[in-house]
Structures are given as structure tokens and as C-alpha cells.
Amino acid sequence: MGSDAFTQLVDANYASLYRFALSLARNQADACDLTQQTFYIWATKGQALRDVSKAKSWLFTTLYREFLRGRRRDVRSTALEDLPPDEADPPAPAVDLVAALDAEAVVGALQEVDEVFRAPLTLFYLEELSYQEIAAALDVPIGTVMSRLSRGKNQLRAILARRGQGSRDNVVPFSNQQVRKAP
């Protein structure tokens, strides 16, 4: 692949890959490292990919594998059986509440979701990959992706609802005369 084609590939994908990395790694420095490492692997190995139309899936798959590989061994990943049972249809936050939050707060909430659900959920919200491509990228069956999306959304919404409630609680009602008169 020529340098122009490589630049095109970077321009088309680096922002989404960074967002995915940020949700996994939970800090900017590691997310940048993961994104760079992914393109480095492409530059050294990925060009052998025969079907260039699958480059995007390849990049997301590689980033996820690099994340799993680089995770410290003493950090135990959460097993599904450790997680509380899923609530059938928990109360969801209002759309207005999510719209009022800034992007950082929403990504922060996403980072609180259990890792096993976080990866498919972030890929879902990036809207770059279908559920089938997400299954291929994470190397899990399609039904598992659907199940994790469902449970992950429930977790995320509970976190967002909590955050929204928290920010509402911090708002001082305008009708509070004492506060209005304070210097």
C-alpha cells in the first residue's frame, strides 16, 4: 500500500479507533498508544490483508487483541458469572438528559460499564460495524454480541441515570430566595 493509501486509511479510521481504545483503556495516553500500535501493526503486517474492504474490521480486531494482550496479568477481568443478573427493562434516562451531558461525561459512563460489555457496546455506538462485524472483531458468537449489547445498554443507562440525577441534585432551584439573595 502506498503512502497516500495509508494516509487515507488513517484518516478514515483513526478517530473511531481512538474512541474505541479510550473506552477500553480508560485513559488518553494508553488509548493513543493502542491506536498507534494498531496502525504500526498494519504498516508491518496488515498490508498482507488480501481483501482491503475488510481493513476497518481488521483494525478494530487488532486494536482489541492488542488491548487484551497488553492488559496486566494481575488485573482479573470480570467473568460473566460474577456480574449481577440483568434487569429485564430497567428505567432508562430521558433522551434530553443524555443530550444535556457533555461527551466526556457520556464516555466516562461508558468506561464504567463492565469490560465484557464495554467493547461491543462502544463498537455499537461508534456505528462503524454491524453486530455481525462486532462478533467477528471480538471473536464471539453473534448471539453473545446481542446479549452483551442488551446487558451493556442496561448498565450504561443505569449509570447515566445516576449521573443525570446527580447533576440535577446539584442544581439550586431558582425559587430558592436565600440562594438568590446571597452575595
Partner 1 sequence: MNNEQAKFILRAYRPGGRDAGDAIFGAALQQAQLDPALGAWFAREQALDAAVAAKVRAVAPPAGLREAILAGARMSTPRPAAAPRPRWRPAAWLAIAAAVVVLLTVVATRWYPAAPGPAPLDQMARFALADPLSAHTGPHADKLGTFGAWLQNPASRISAVSGVDLAQLQAEHCRAVTVAGHEVFEICFQRDGSWYHLYIARAGDFGGNAAAGVPEFLEQGGRSVATWTSRGLAYVLMTGGGPDALRRIL
What 3-state class would DSSP assign to 169?
Answer: helix
Burial (Cβ within 10 Å: 0-12, 13-18, ≥19) of residue 27: exposed
Nearest in space to 87 (alpha carbons), one of 151, 142, 23, 159: 151
By the rule CB under 8 A, 15 interacts with partner 1: yes
Q: How far is the CB of 67 from partner 1 (least distance, A)?
A: 17
CB atoms within 10 A of CB 114: 18
Task: Note whether 111 binds partner 1 by CB under 8 A.
Answer: no
Contact 120, 151 (CB under 8 A): no
Size of the site for partner 1 (CB under 8 A): 56
Asked if 35 contacts 130 with a C-beta cutoff of 8 angstroms, the reply is no
* From candidates 12, 27, 40, 162, binder to partner 1 by CB under 8 A: 40
Distance CA 164, CA 105 (A): 10
Distance CA 183, CA 167 (A): 23
Smallest separation, CB 135 to partner 1 (Å) = 10
Interface with partner 1 by CB under 8 A: which range of 61-69, 72-80, 91-99, 165-173? 91-99
88 binds partner 1 (CB under 8 A): yes
Q: What is the contact mask toward partner 1 in residues 117 to 156, using x (rule: CB under 8 A)?
A: -----x-xxxx--xx-------------xxx-xx--x--x
Considering the complex, what minimum distance in angstroms separates the CB of residue 158 from partner 1? 13
- Taking the least distance from each CB to partner 1, the nearer of 1 and 68 is 1
**Residue range at the interface with partner 1 (CB under 8 A); choices 59-67, 86-94, 111-119, 174-182:** 86-94
